[in-house]
Chains A and B, each alone.
Chain A
């Protein structure tokens, strides 16, 4: 199947701003789904609210567009009652880690088989450029006119500590790597997290003099390095990309099924 067979063509052109990185993530995600040979009927996509959440409107899967921050909670209900579907949960940085932070760590703790994709553009785009918990210090935003004093979460460290069994990070510049990591994450049995640096030239770029979308992509290239690379060893300021965690552990839905058969077996 061609990648375009996975989209709802009548909703294009999409609503993202020119230069936005989210379309690149959508493209890579569909390529990953295609290369896994998944059928459209096998996939449920649950999203929250924000620019990233609009991904769910464009894909021809079972799609649930929910509330700000709550996508993982809705997804948990779906996966628990229908464990045979693949559940993909794209979220923005504020969506996943501010208002949805509690659901994020608890989904990771349970190791429930969901694929969480954090589209991290370090800003609230849909509401007009406010800082997020992934903006970090010294960032300009419409709610940080004197630059932010808030520290950022490290998504990889947070997901790892909370118990996610697959954790990866990449950027929209590294499109083939992105596709590969998403493929691995979707194929992983358990809670998987892929953090994707995505550019928001409209708000983050403009407010922080990062230049055009092209310049922002170039920054992703220059400010990150692959895990295990010599570049990363030489320069501690570079942000590592790649797979940070990949381990097998009991998956929540499977454990629940086991519990049910144990209970029912004992009663029979």
Chain B
């Protein structure tokens, strides 16, 4: 694929970036507003010699993705809220068995079928806690097509590096709007492949014996090493175990490999934050309106800045705390009832100075929605 300037739909940018990252296998089920991803990959993957399969539901889609990834292919699925709900069980399996894969959730509004053709950001906490049990999760988002390309590649890189499912969350607005994007040339963005074992054939291979840095070299399933993979707690051979020590160590390994690297995983953009005494925190397409607010108020001399998060989980609490320290007012702009707002309040030293500017009526959050909150907050003398 040659690089160059294109005018694309968000879902198409995701497809182009996934192929750039080396996608070899896609399984999915049609659902608005993500269907274009499956449609485009049903053409592009066979053309590239990869594998596309339309499954009977979202449950089987993620199961097939996990199976394919085990055999050594970079694999992904794409869905929206209802389908993402169906994937939660196998998402937990991918965490437990440490299978790299990317799950794209193009967010619509509301619970249940909700607003299938409109934008929302209500799945932030579902992405974090949707599957049962203690676990860590890597979740990225993006606010522009250019960022979406980079973040999609980053999602594949993180999945491979951390042997973990990675969730890419963006909303219907970004998915369906078209804007300019510069497709990088091959090699321009570094690609990460999973570590593969150097243990030769015939020598005992321990699929779940972590190196000192926490990484687990893989052997392509169905290849030269025979081993077991399970969703049960397991020992270094991958066989079920209920020994307290084995359970404890695996539990910590799974959580720590991500939570202790929150700083490395933190991806964000900042605008005018150096001297800001008012700070807007936002992400995804809502951040486009926040940027507009910050630019216009800056033009009238106000010391206002924007922190735009691209990593939603593990939540970059330290970054948020440091950035908010100087600001007397923090406004979180998002299209839900305050899912990141609560995380920001939990991270800062003065939670009382954090306010929410949101919109949950299916309409896109506009600059004026954020401005109104800023006006009210300042009217209170904050």
Chain A positions near chain B (C-beta within 8 angstroms): 11, 40-41, 44, 46, 56-57, 60-67, 70, 72-78, 80-82, 85, 102-103, 106, 256, 259-260, 263-264, 267
Contact = CB atoms under 8 A, between A and B. Distances in A.
Contacts of A103: 56, 60
B90 A62 contact: no
A162 to B, nearest CB: 11
Contacts of B56: 102-103, 106
Nearest to A81: B68
19 contacts: A41-B226, A64-B70, A65-B228, A65-B231, A65-B240, A67-B63, A70-B59, A72-B60, A73-B60, A77-B71, A77-B75, A78-B67, A78-B221, A81-B25, A82-B221, A259-B46, A260-B46, A264-B47, A267-B47
A82 B231 contact: no
Contacts of A40: 226
B24 interface: yes
A173 to B, nearest CB: 31
Contacts of B222: 44, 62, 78, 82, 85
Interface in B70-87: 70-73, 75
A92 B207 CA distance: 27
A80 B25 contact: yes
B368 to A, nearest CB: 47
Nearest to B219: A62
A259 to B, nearest CB: 6
Contacts of B102: none
Interface of B: 24-25, 27, 46-47, 49, 51, 53, 55-57, 59-60, 63-73, 75, 89-90, 93, 221-224, 226-232, 239-240
Contact of A76 (B64, B223, B224): B64
B71 A78 contact: yes
A46 B64 CA distance: 12
A70 B46 contact: no
Contacts of A263: 46-47
Interface residue SS majority, chain B: mixed
A13 to B, nearest CB: 15
Contacts of B60: 70, 72-73, 76, 102-103, 106
A64 B67 contact: yes
A75 B67 contact: yes
B71 A67 contact: no
Given A75-B67, A81-B25, A82-B71, A57 B89 contact: no
Given A63-B226, A82-B222, A263-B47, 4 more contacts: A57-B240, A67-B89, A76-B67, A85-B222
A64 B46 contact: no
B221 A62 contact: yes
A62 B67 CA distance: 12
A219 B185 CA distance: 69
Contacts of A76: 27, 53, 55, 60, 63-64, 67
A199 to B, nearest CB: 25
Contacts of A41: 223-224, 226
Interface centre among B25, B63, B227 (most CB of A within 10 A): B63
Contact of B228 (A57, A77, A106): A57
Contacts of B64: 73-74, 76-77, 80
A159 B222 CA distance: 27
B68 A102 contact: no
Given A62-B227, A65-B232, A263-B47, A77 B59 contact: no
Contacts of B227: 62-63
Nearest to A10: B239
